[in-house]
Amino acid sequence: MNGDVDRLAELFLGAKRPVAFTGAGVSTESGIPDFRSPGGLWDRFDPSDFTYRNFVGSVGGRRKYWQLGRVTYPVIRAARPSAAHLALAELHRLDRLDCCITQNIDDLHQRAGLPPDKVIELHGNAGRTRCLECGAAYTRDEVHAWLDVSDEVPACPRCGGIVKPTTVLFGEPMPATELREAERRARAADLFVVLGSSLVVYPAAYMPAHAKHAGATLAIVNLEPTPLDARADLVIRDRAGAVMAAVVEEVRARAAQRESCERREALEQQSAP
The angle formed by the CA atoms of residues 255, 260 and 265, to the nearest 5 degrees, is 125
Question: What DSSP state is assigned to residue 38?
Answer: T
Residue 265: what are its φ and ψ, rounded to 5°? -65, -40
d(C-alpha 188, C-alpha 191), whole Å: 9
Residue 65, Cα to own-chain centre: how many angstroms? 23
Residues 256 and 99: beta-carbon distance below 8 Å: no
Scored b (16 or more CB within 10 A) or e, 163-196 reads: bbbbbbbeebebbeebbeebbebbbbbbbbbbbb
Which of 35, 91, 92, 24 shows the shortest CA–CA distance to 68?
35
Which of 228, 162, 222, 171 shows the shortest CA–CA distance to 196?
222
d(C-alpha 247, C-alpha 252), whole Å: 9
Backbone dihedral region for residue 95 (phi beyond 0: left; psi -120 to 50: alpha; all else: beta): left
- Catalytic, 92? Answer no
**Out of 85, 92, 109, 123, which one is annotated catalytic?**
123
d(C-alpha 270, C-alpha 267), whole Å: 5
Which of 136, 92, 112, 105 shows the shortest CA–CA distance to 204?
105
The beta-carbon contacts of 135-143 under 8 Å, at least 24 apart in sequence, are 138/163, 140/73, 140/77, 140/165, 141/77
Catalytic residues: 123
